[in-house]
Amino acid sequence: MQGFRWNFGLRRLVKNLSVTDENSGLLKRASYLDLLMGEIRRAWQQSTPTSVLLMKFGAALGKEPGEGSVDSPMQRMGQIVAANIRQNDLAFRYTANTIAIVLGETSEREAMLAVEKMRRVIGAAAEKQVATSFNAGVAEAVLRQEFDPVDIVTEVINRAERALEKSVAAGAGMSVALPPSLAAAAVA
């Protein structure tokens, strides 16, 4: 009986420490900043582009955001997204109805192609209404050696969120990529 309690306690500890949601396959939001920072540092050192993609799913999931039953459809979206990203990309449950993907070695243009790929993949998974109605915001990180990685992360997160806000304002199914403004690039 003692071994049973130890195994149960160990499983509970491992589950609590896990950074992946077992139902959706997405990384948990708590690990977002640390993993994005690591990816930005790697890209900064190797001079390769990195982009952040935010995908917001709304009424097409059956319930408006904030209602309790959004979890099951979002878990399904998470499973689809997690199964269809590249091995070096990172997908997170960002909010109750938003998935974030950190796209390593990916420019803004390539990130917009990734949005269209996700639309096709979600549509092929018999989720056609969701595929045509989710909003997406994209931002490529400004990677310059004179910029601190913490500032780069802050700037790209803020810009990706603004891009998502603009896409939502433009209507269902819209995608927006926001390039850095000169002022933001100088501050980063």
pLDDT value, residue 117: 96
Which residue, 53, 102, 96, is CA-closest to 77? 96
Cβ distance 133 to 173 under 8 Å?
A: yes
pLDDT value, residue 152: 95
The string of pLDDT tens digits covering residues 56-86 is 998 666 544 444 455 789 999 999 999 999 9
pLDDT value, residue 131: 86
Work out the burial of residue 82: count CB atoms within 10 Å of its CB; fewer than 13 is exposed, 13-18 middle, 19 or more buried.
buried
pTM flag (> 0.85) = no
What residue ranges do the domains of the chain occupy? 24-187
* Largest CA-CA distance found in the chain, in angstroms, rounded: 65
pLDDT value, residue 60: 62
Length, in residues, of the chain: 188
pLDDT value, residue 18: 59
Topology of domain 24-187, CATH? Alpha-Beta Plaits (3.30.70)
Distance (Å, whole) CA 166 – CA 160? 10
Low-confidence residues in the chain, pLDDT < 70: 1-18, 59-70, 126, 182-188
